[in-house]
Amino acid sequence: MSPSLRPTLQACLDSRRNNLDFLRFAAASGVILSHAFPLGEGRGTVEPLDLFSRGQLSLGRLCVAVFLVISGVLITRSWERTPDLARFTWARVLRIFPGLAVMLLLTTLVLGPAFTTLPLRDYLLSADTHLYWLRNLTLVNPQWELPGVFESSAYSKAVNGSLWTLKYEVGFYLLTLGLGLAGLLRKSMVAVGWVGAAVAPFVTGRLGFWPELYLYFGGGVALYLWRDKVRMSPWLALACTVGWLALTWLGYGRIGTGLFGSYVVLYLAFLPAGPLAHFGRRGDLSYGVYVYAFPVQQAVTALLGGRTEWWVNAAVSFPVVVALAALSWHGVEKPALTLKDRPPALLRRLRFGSRAAMQGNG
């Protein structure tokens, strides 16, 4: 097929048949495999990808990148389709926080009492027990520990180490919202931001994970903004894969993932849709798998008496995590999302202001 006849990303997005649900589920499952190495075999256990990338990427970090690339595309499209402050914000709140809140409650009131080494009364009366739910729900100042829980694990006292990415995800939602309201969600602005994120780690180490994670999210945003020009070609996907592998082997895996990996992720998401296009018809389990996996894997390690092979930890944990994710989707997340077109009055009051701002930038 001539390159000019390859479908554009715009055409792929217009078609509702895609592999996005499967790809997100696969990424969440990959995080389980990645965490199984240190949680099963002990801290310091090195994954194959970590070796290949010279410490730049683990499988878990790569899977987080997959999430963020897809998020960059879908969140930008969501804003362009409904450039309304109230509805955009409310939809994002419902996607993240109801499932997170229930998971934190179960962690605090079920898992914690089951695994704490403290007397139950001391555990329940500890200020840290009550603050765990609040701090992690607000994402402002995450608290990793619950009193007496998993103290002898590879990640000592870290009850749910996966939650560190959520504040960045929400931060990028707010960035998209801010740029959209200001009329700056444009190709030039995103390109400058992406270049800045690539250069920032070489200039300053004070920005934490923001530059790296924006390489992935921004890669998705950029491809979306150029969606009418980007064609989904297997040859270009192959070339990007080779480029990504080369940069990764040279020790620039994070830049390579943002620069080349973003295209590969979207190509895989929109391959000619077969049975995987129906993967999510029974529910989108990816978020539940992500937020429940780490505490379940910690519990499996404790129940098995400590160190075990990584694949044992993953194999025992996986069905439990999927079951919890299914309950979360059908019992919490899906019902919450039915309310996404009905933002609360406080947010609705801001709607007029957001429209006025966009008209002023038009």
Give the pLDDT of residue 207.
84
Radius of gyration from C-alpha coordinates of the chain: 21
Residue 8: HSE in the Cβ half-sphere, 13 Å Cα cutoff: 12
**What's the mean pLDDT in 162-172?**
96
Sorting pLDDT into bands at 50, 70 and 90, what band is 271? confident
SS3 228: coil
Q: What does pLDDT average to over the chain? A: 91
Q: What is the pTM of this model?
A: 0.93
Name the β-bridge partners of 231. 8
Q: What is the pLDDT of residues 101-129, one digit of tens each?
A: 999 999 999 999 999 999 999 999 999 99
**What's the mean pLDDT in 36-49?**
89
Q: What is the pLDDT of residues 306-352, one digit of tens each?
A: 889 999 999 999 999 999 999 999 999 999 999 998 888 777 776 64
**Helices and strands counted in the chain (H then E):** 19, 0
Q: What is the pLDDT of residues 58-107, one digit of tens each?
A: 999 999 999 999 999 999 999 999 899 999 999 999 999 999 999 999 99
Q: What is the pLDDT of residues 176-196, one digit of tens each?
A: 999 999 999 999 999 999 999
CB 254 within 8 A of CB 211: no
pLDDT at 355 over 70: no
CB 75 within 8 A of CB 68: no
Between CA 188 and CA 179 the distance in angstroms is 12
Sorting pLDDT into bands at 50, 70 and 90, what band is 2? low
What are 285's two structure tokens? 């389990």
Residues 6+ positions from 84 with CB-CB distance below 8 Å: 351, 354, 355
